[in-house]
């Protein structure tokens, strides 16, 4: 329990008490206790005072309003995404897998170019009407790969233990 | 110990927070089922916080908006396999943080810190505008803005991300930890060190 005889938060791992106090998010009981501690701890008193100043000063760092055409641009990109050729959707996971294999990397570019040429060749021989087969866009393939990566990110969130120390900061 | 007073306001806030979380997950599940209107609602709720976070991270408005486009595009692309097992905003900010951190690292690598700073200043130049203030007030505001911007820009990227989520998005330590893929205690220490640097850099403003 935190009281006026407590170990100073600055000397322990409880520095969040000081941050929460300055951001006014400390619960009333702990707030009162920390205020009692500050009466006789000059270091906490000075740090809290400086931190409160910074906390308020940071309000000046305002962000700019969002562009009016932000949604319009996004929906246009989504619309393009919705019309990714079926062939691209098939190729993306294969390409993604191969990219994980270093030895395949030089071969990959050649394979991609050859496959693209092959598709263009078959399309040109009236397999599909031209308006149904947009030009191969490497960017679209890359975007399909990114979707897989993002799902990995969601997967990591699910399996993650909040207490695990994955990384030293 | 005397009984604790019932914190009605706190409970109400918590219930609203839970409702918001469930609403995000519910909307995303509808998006998964092909409801584009629900995607529009998610965009409406999270567009501004995501763009503002990115803007303060990369300190360049056009780049921030471009990265935000990518964030929402990635959410949309991943809809088919979405499962509401993780907090939606955590996932959203994790994607945003990854993109911002990569952009900062790539730019620094490509051009060197000096030119990155010049680009940042250019990208944020529209930021400080006169909003019906006197010339003097506007100048003071601009100078304050610039000081804070530079101090935040001077923080290591991960500290910067943590401070921005803590200060401007009012995120809990646990959520920041999830976004940045580290422990809660690491986030607390990261934040304390970041604010320590800011206090040192901005001491003359106090
Ligand atoms: Zn103390």
Enumerate residue ranges in chain B where pLDDT < 70: 1-21, 111-132, 206
Mean pLDDT (chain A) is: 71
Distance CA B26, CA B36 (A): 13
> SS3 breakdown of chain B: % helix, strand, coil, rounded to 5?
80, 0, 20
Which run of H or E residues covers position B89? helix B88-123
Given this model, what pLDDT does residue B110 score? 78
For chain B, which residues make up each domain, given as ranges? 9-109, 135-206
From the candidate CATH numbers 1.10.1740.10, 1.10.10.520, 3.60.15.10, 3.20.20.70, the one assigned to the domain spanning B9-109: 1.10.1740.10
Query: Angle B36-58/B8-32 helices, nearest 10 degrees?
Result: 110
For chain A, the distance separating the N- and C-terminal CA atoms, rounded to the nearest angstrom, is 29
Q: Which is higher by pLDDT, A93 or A75?
A: A75
Confidence of residue A72 (pLDDT cuts 50, 70, 90): very high
Distance from CA of A61 to the nearest CA of B (A): 5
Per-residue tokens: B20: 């918001």
CB contact (8 A) between residue A61 and residue B82:
no
CB contact (8 A) between residue A61 and residue B182:
no
Q: What is the ipTM of this complex?
A: 0.80
Count of other CB atoms within 10 angstroms of residue A41: 19
Given this model, what pLDDT does residue A44 score? 96
CA B113 to the chain's CA centroid: 22
Given this model, what pLDDT does residue B108 score? 83
From chain B, pick out residues whose CB is under 8 angstroms from the CB of A18.
Answer: 192
Given this model, what pLDDT does residue B134 score? 81
From chain B, pick out residues whose CB is under 8 angstroms from the CB of A156.
Answer: 181
Distance CA A150, CA A144 (A): 10
Backbone angles phi, psi at B162, to 5 degrees: -65, -45
For the cut 70, the answer to whether the pLDDT of residue A101 exceeds it is: no
Rg over alpha carbons for chain B, rounded to the nearest Å, is 19
Per-residue tokens: B18: 């839970």
Distance CA B154, CA B110 (A): 18
Q: Check if the beta carbon of residue A85 is closer than 8 Å to that of residue A134.
A: yes
Each residue's pLDDT tens digit, A148-162: 566 666 665 554 433
Backbone region of residue B74 per phi and psi (left: phi > 0; alpha: psi in -120 to 50; beta: other values) = alpha
Sequence-separated (6 or more) residues with CB below 8 Å from residue B13: none
Distance CA A128, CA A138 (A): 20
* Vertex A54: Cα angle to A52 and A55 (nearest 5): 60
Given this model, what pLDDT does residue B141 score? 85
Angstrom CA distances, B22 to A109, A125, B27, B89, B176, stand at 44, 52, 8, 11, 19
Distance CA B157, CA B152 (A): 9
Query: Which of B43, B174, B181 is closest, CB to CB, to A166?
Result: B181
Given this model, what pLDDT does residue B18 score? 55
Q: What residue spans of chain A are helical by DSSP H?
A: 15-22, 28-40, 42-57, 70-82, 86-99, 105-122, 138-159
Given this model, what pLDDT does residue B183 score? 96
From the candidate CATH numbers 1.10.10.10, 3.40.50.720, 3.30.1330.40, 3.30.70.260, the one assigned to the domain spanning B135-206: 1.10.10.10
From chain A, pick out residues whose CB is under 8 angstroms from the CB of B149.
Answer: 61
- Asked if the C-beta of A159 comes within 8 angstroms of chain B's C-beta atoms, the answer is no
């Amino acid at each position: 329990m935190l009281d006026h005889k407590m170990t100073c938060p600055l000397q322990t791992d409880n520095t969040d008490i000081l941050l929460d106090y300055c951001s006014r998010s400390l619960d009333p009981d702990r707030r009162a206790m920390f205020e009692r501690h500050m009466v006789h701890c000059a270091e906490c008193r000075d740090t809290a005072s400086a931190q409160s100043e910074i906390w308020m000063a940071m309000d000046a760092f305002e962000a700019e309003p969002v562009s009016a055409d932000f949604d319009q641009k996004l929906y246009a990109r989504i619309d393009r995404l919705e019309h990714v050729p079926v062939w691209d959707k098939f190729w993306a996971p294969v390409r993604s897998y191969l990219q994980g294999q270093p030895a395949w990397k030089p071969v990959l570019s050649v394979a991609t170019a050859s496959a693209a040429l092959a598709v263009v060749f078959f399309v040109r021989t009236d397999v599909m009407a031209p308006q149904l087969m947009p030009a191969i866009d490497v960017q679209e393939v890359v975007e399909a790969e990114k979707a897989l990566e993002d799902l990995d990110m969601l997967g990591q969130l699910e399996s993650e233990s909040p207490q695990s120390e994955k990384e030293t900061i | 110990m005397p009984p604790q007073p019932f914190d009605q306001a706190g409970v109400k806030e918590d219930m609203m927070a839970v409702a918001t979380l469930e609403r995000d997950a519910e909307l995303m599940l509808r998006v998964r089922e092909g409801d584009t209107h629900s995607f529009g609602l998610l965009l409406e709720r999270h567009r501004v916080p995501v763009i503002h976070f990115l803007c303060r991270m990369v300190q360049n408005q056009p780049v921030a908006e471009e990265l935000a486009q990518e964030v929402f595009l990635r959410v949309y692309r991943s809809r088919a396999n979405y499962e509401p097992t993780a907090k939606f905003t955590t996932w959203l900010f994790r994607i945003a943080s990854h993109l911002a951190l990569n952009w900062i690292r790539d730019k620094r690598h490509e051009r060197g810190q000096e030119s990155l700073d010049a680009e940042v200043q250019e990208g944020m130049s529209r930021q400080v505008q006169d909003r019906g203030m006197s010339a003097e007030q506007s100048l003071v505001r601009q100078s304050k803005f610039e000081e804070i911007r530079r101090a935040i820009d001077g923080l290591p990227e991960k500290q910067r991300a943590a401070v921005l989520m803590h200060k401007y998005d009012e995120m809990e330590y646990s959520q920041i930890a999830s976004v940045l893929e580290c422990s809660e205690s690491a986030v607390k220490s990261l934040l304390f060190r970041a604010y320590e640097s800011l206090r040192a850099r901005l001491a003359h403003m106090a």
